[in-house]
Amino acid sequence: SFSIENIPQLPPDPLFGLKARFSEDSRPNKVDLGIGAYRDNDGKPWILPSVRLAENLLQNSKEYNHEYLAISGYKAFTDAAARIILGKQSRAIVEDRLVSIQTLSGTGALHVAGKFLKDFYVSKTASEPPVVYLSKPTWANHVQIFEYLGLKTASYPYWNNETRSLDLDGFVAAIEQAPEGSVFVLHATAHNPTGLDPKPDQWLTILQAIEKGKHLALFDSAYQGFSSGSLDKDAWAVREAVDKNYRFPVIVCQSFAKNAGMYGERVGAVHVVLPEHSAALNRAVHSQLSKIIRAEISNPPAYGAKIVSLILNTPELMKQWEDDLVTMSSRISEMRQTLTAELEKLGTPGSWKHIVEQQGMFSFTGLTPAQVERLEKKHGVYLVSSGRASIAGLNKGNVTHVAKCIDEVVR
């Protein structure tokens, strides 16, 4: 029976818990390197100029209302979102082999994909839903999203801590040993938390192994444009998997939280690539994805999708957005350079080159949990205990100070 007194209290979410401790800290020179949200050089949230322009346009257009969207979302948005990640010339688009549906940002996309896989992706050799393989380490919420749905998760080697580089052999061995028809979650770009992405030739090895193992590739694209500043470059691996002659199924989960700075608006999509053109199959998949959305959220949020749609479908706004991506990615890369240079100047023990080699929002610094704790307690510099630092929290005003604090805890 239901006994309300016996409900166990869960510990706070590590990241949002950190955010709360940071807010309560009254030290004026505190620094937040925790949550993965872009900050400008003054440490402030940044509304992208392209988003501001789109907001003005929207408010003066006939689309400006607060009506419900369709169950599958705002079609002008989902169609354009597919072109952004897959490329206009994508075979999946040209051959009409794609089902796209709007979701609650990237988390919602992963959830909908997970539910869909649980219900329909049963491999030929197993009667059970597939095991979902996640990189070790990965974004902490990945495990929870899939296990919450009752799916089993496992991990594949990814980060070699000794060499601070990709454990490609371990990764490929895990793909080879996984039961046929497993699901491999792949970070499309800017791997969270390590900031380390496979190089193109390494991607080819990974994709070939996935094909050989008859697995499914589930791409999580949460940082397109953040690694290189170029949407096309950062979509390379996804496009390779979709457009080359591989014969494995591909699903893409797409978030505009980071690259459009629309964190709280929950703008995202899931794209299911079909093996062949079939209007009936397309309708069937679309209906099942729609059923999930209808039961869970009825229909997705409209405002952010309309904004992003305007950006993607208006050439001048698109150009501005591409500039905005360069602004964000180059500021982050400048901060990587400065932090490394400052640490080298201080002669901080250890090598810090990996900070410049990594890309995207994060750096896996190699700091230990004890060092991270000391950074927070003694210096008011906040990062998660794994040693992952959100480089976007650095700016010209605090980077020298942060380097000194790191130097102090490392010695």
Catalytic residue positions? Answer: 139, 220, 258
Question: How near is the Cβ of 268 to ligand PMP at its closest, in Å?
Answer: 5
179 by DSSP, 3-state: which? coil
135 binding ligand PMP? (CB under 6 A)? no
Burial label for 157, CB within 10 Å (0-12, 13-18, 19+), is: middle
Q: Interface with ligand PMP by CB under 6 A: which range of 17-25, 58-66, 102-110, 124-132?
A: 102-110
222 binding ligand PMP? (CB under 6 A)? yes
* Lookup: tokens for 338: 């400065």
| Closer by beta carbon to ligand PMP, 227 or else 348 | 227
285 binding ligand PMP? (CB under 6 A)? no
393 binding ligand PMP? (CB under 6 A)? no
309 by DSSP, 3-state: which? helix
171 binding ligand PMP? (CB under 6 A)? no
252 binding ligand PMP? (CB under 6 A)? no
> Rounded to an integer, what distance in angstroms lies between the CA atom of residue 234 and that of residue 246?
20
Question: Among 50, 78, 105, 320, which residue sits at the site for ligand PMP (rule: CB under 6 A)?
Answer: 105
301 binding ligand PMP? (CB under 6 A)? no
| Closer by beta carbon to ligand PMP, 101 or else 274 | 101
384 binding ligand PMP? (CB under 6 A)? no
* Longest pairwise C-alpha distance within the chain: 64
Question: How near is the Cβ of 36 to ligand PMP at its closest, in Å?
Answer: 5
**What is the total residue count of the chain?**
411
Question: Among 139, 184, 219, 352, which residue sits at the site for ligand PMP (rule: CB under 6 A)?
Answer: 139
Phi, psi of 66 (to 5 degrees): -120, 40
129 binding ligand PMP? (CB under 6 A)? no
Note the helical H segments in 224-302: 231-234, 236-243, 279-296
What part of residues 18-47 is at the interface with ligand PMP (CB under 6 A)? 36
Question: Among 192, 194, 309, 395, which residue sits at the site for ligand PMP (rule: CB under 6 A)?
Answer: 192
Q: Is the sign of the CA dihedral 389, 391, 397, 401 positive or negative? A: positive
**Do β-strands 132-136 and 153-157 pair in parallel, antiparallel, or remain unpaired?**
parallel
What part of residues 257-276 is at the interface with ligand PMP (CB under 6 A)? 257, 268
Write b or e for each residue in 283-316: b if 16 or more Cβ atoms lie within 10 A of its Cβ, otherwise e.
eebbebbbebbeeebebbbbbbbbbbbbbbebee
Q: Interface with ligand PMP by CB under 6 A: which range of 105-113, 243-251, 277-285, 319-327?
A: 105-113
> Rounded to an integer, what distance in angstroms lies between the CA atom of residue 83 and that of residue 21?
40
Q: Interface with ligand PMP by CB under 6 A: which range of 57-65, 103-111, 146-154, 195-203?
A: 103-111
221 by DSSP, 3-state: which? strand
Q: Which residues are at the interface with ligand PMP (CB under 6 A)?
A: 36, 105-107, 139, 187, 192, 220, 222, 255, 257, 268
